[in-house]
Amino acid sequence: MKVVIVTRTEGIGKYQELTSEEIVSAIARHGIIKEDNGKLVKHLMDNKHWSPLDMINFGFEIETSRNIGRQLLRHWSIKPQEHSQRYSSKVAFEPIELRMEHPTNRQSSTDVFDPNIKVSWLPNLAPHASTVLEDLLSKIEEAYFAMLEAGAAKECARDILPGCTRTTLTMNGSLRSWLAFLNVRMDKHTQKEAVMIATEIGEALELEMPKVFSTINWRTGMFM
């Protein structure tokens, strides 16, 4: 998993020297540029006056698994560009952390599975969960490249690649959209791997907009 901030909206003309948070405040005040401590944006959020928060954008390059990528892509207000597996045959897998099923929440997990625990499934493969996974992934990779070598198109051969296959996404969203993203993806109901991505995005945005972020409990999720 890797998250890098790659773009931000810059001001020109009378907004030229302004920081991201100053641009939002100036737009909210219809061009009047004043010092503020970040509380104006919080006030706009509390009053559901979203439009000034849609005036500036940030872009992130995100490396993750295709399964987590699918979750990110559901945020339709954040515009994506994804590396194409129809075009490139580069294959890598994100590490799989096996966790135990949550006792009450059917879509969630708890503690990390003992990687050396004996498993009875797939008995022909190695007996430990971690080696079973390693074996499976290397066999899949082998079969994928064998198909390409035999002349199969990448768009067909990729159908055997698993959900942990690495993908690279560039995602561009307004401040409002990223806040809405953090609102749900920092929440305890979100999958751990997606929370890790959201944390990196939140920390990068906090560096860009320290005053605004000091007024928001973004790390807890469900703050707006």
Ligand X SMILES: Cc1cc2nc3c(=O)[nH]c(=O)nc-3n(C[C@H](O)[C@H](O)[C@H](O)COP(=O)(O)OP(=O)(O)OC[C@H]3O[C@@H](n4cnc5c(N)ncnc54)[C@H](O)[C@@H]3O)c2cc1C
What are residue 11's phi and psi, to 5 degrees? Answer: -85, 150
Complex with ligand X: residue 91 or 184, whichever CB lies closer: 184
**What's the one-letter identity of residue 187?**
D
Task: Give the position of tokens 């998250």.
Answer: 3
Element (H, E) at 110: strand 109-112
Complex with ligand X: residue 108 or 130, whichever CB lies closer: 108
Question: Is 224 one of the binding residues for ligand X (CB under 6 A)?
Answer: yes
Closest contact distance (angstroms) between CB of 112 and ligand X is 20
- Of residues 160-219, which lie at the interface with ligand X (CB under 6 A)? 176-177, 180-181, 183-184, 189-190
What are residue 205's phi and psi, to 5 degrees? Answer: -70, -35
Closest contact distance (angstroms) between CB of 201 and ligand X is 12
Closest contact distance (angstroms) between CB of 50 and ligand X is 6
Fill in the DSSP letter of residue 14.
Answer: G
| Tokens matching residue 174 | 């307004």
Closest contact distance (angstroms) between CB of 5 and ligand X is 18
**What's the one-letter identity of residue 72?**
L
Complex with ligand X: residue 58 or 93, whichever CB lies closer: 58
Smallest Cα–Cα separation from 180: which of 105, 76, 81, 90? 76
- Contact characters 67-106, ligand X, x per CB under 6 A: -------xxxxx----------------------------
Task: Give the position of tokens 């879509």.
Answer: 107
Q: Using CB under 6 A as the criterion, which residues of the chain lie in contact with ligand X when the complex forms? A: 74-78, 176-177, 180-181, 183-184, 189-190, 224
